[in-house]
Amino acid sequence: MAEMTKRAEMQNQEKWEKEKPKPNHLELARALVDKGLFQVALVQLEQAQDTAGRTCEVYHLTGRCYLGLGQYPKALESFRRALSIDRSYAPSHNGLGLALDLSGSREQAWESYQKAIELNPARADFYSNLGFSKLMAERFQEAEKYLRESLVLNPDLKIAVNNLALCYALQGRFDQAAALLKQYSPPAAASNNLGVLYEINGNRKAALQHYRTALSIDETLPAAQANLGNQGDSRQDRKTAKP
């Protein structure tokens, strides 16, 4: 009797093992990448290769992980593998552009961003990435063009707002930068961010004035508190300012 019971339990266990749902490693990897948990996502992507195969998406997500971890040569390799499977996958052209940009190959990066835009002209982040890269190369007119196009597609893309404001500020066009920030941000945040732009341009006095204005509007704004100093009116030099 005991032997029969044991055998039945083993059969039930085997049946349960066969019927229990298998983990979807690719789906788990997508969620982990979106949360910025890149190291853990890489483990899931390795297992996804066994279940989903070596697909364009698997290599693309692997590239995003390595990009997030600052391992640019591996990111380049992964995005190129993704594109060797599907040359029409716009996100991998964009990812390749980012990896090239961060590796110091700026003009090659521009070609990749342009290809991504050509394949999917509805993605605001593609225009934003190209615009920021042009901004870092001090090609202000081109940067402004792409950043504006990004905001036409997605007015809520804050990084494009801040980078376009920076583009104006680096050319001394602070009135336009201020108007842009006020258009897209709450008053306190707009004043703080304008202060950051003055700080970047070396005008600490004007920056302090805008940080104080921000705190007069919202005394709890963490970024403005940090930029002024936690005591509210710091005159100490600060190495970084927070938008």
In-domain check, residue 165? no
pLDDT tens-digit profile of 176-209? 999 999 999 999 999 999 999 999 999 999 999 9
In-domain check, residue 144? no
Final residue belonging to a domain, choices 121, 144, 174: 121
In-domain check, residue 93? yes
Token duo for residue 10: 């083993």
**DSSP helix, strand, coil percent of the chain (3-state; round to 5):** 75, 0, 25
In-domain check, residue 127? no
Token duo for residue 44: 């899931």
Q: Which residue has the tokens 């927070």?
A: 242
CA dist 20 and 141 (Å) reads 58
- Overall number of domains in the chain: 2
Final residue belonging to a domain, choices 105, 121, 137: 121
Q: Which of 159, 158, 94, 82 is nearest to 122 (CA)?
A: 94
The confidence score (pLDDT) of residue 10 equals 59
Three-state SS for 222? Answer: helix
86: CATH:
1.25.40.10
Final residue belonging to a domain, choices 72, 103, 121: 121
Is residue 76 exposed (0-12), middle (13-18) or buried (19+ Cβ within 10 Å)?
Answer: buried
In-domain check, residue 107? yes
In-domain check, residue 157? no
Residues 194 and 117 in one domain: no
In-domain check, residue 171? no
In-domain check, residue 3? no
Q: Which of 103, 100, 102, 58 is nearest to 114 (CA)?
A: 100
CA dist 43 and 8 (Å) reads 36
Q: Print the domain residue range for 47.
A: 26-121
Token duo for residue 130: 């190209």
Q: Which residues of the chain have pLDDT under 50?
A: 16-20, 230-240
Q: Which of 3, 51, 6 is nearest to 25 (CA)?
A: 51
Q: What is the dihedral of CA 11, 13, 14, 20, to 10 degrees?
A: 140
Three-state SS for 175? Answer: helix
Longest pairwise C-alpha distance within the chain: 90
Q: Which of 51, 47, 45, 100 is nearest to 77 (CA)?
A: 100
Cα-Cα-Cα-Cα dihedral sign, residues 125, 130, 134, 140: negative
The confidence score (pLDDT) of residue 30 equals 93
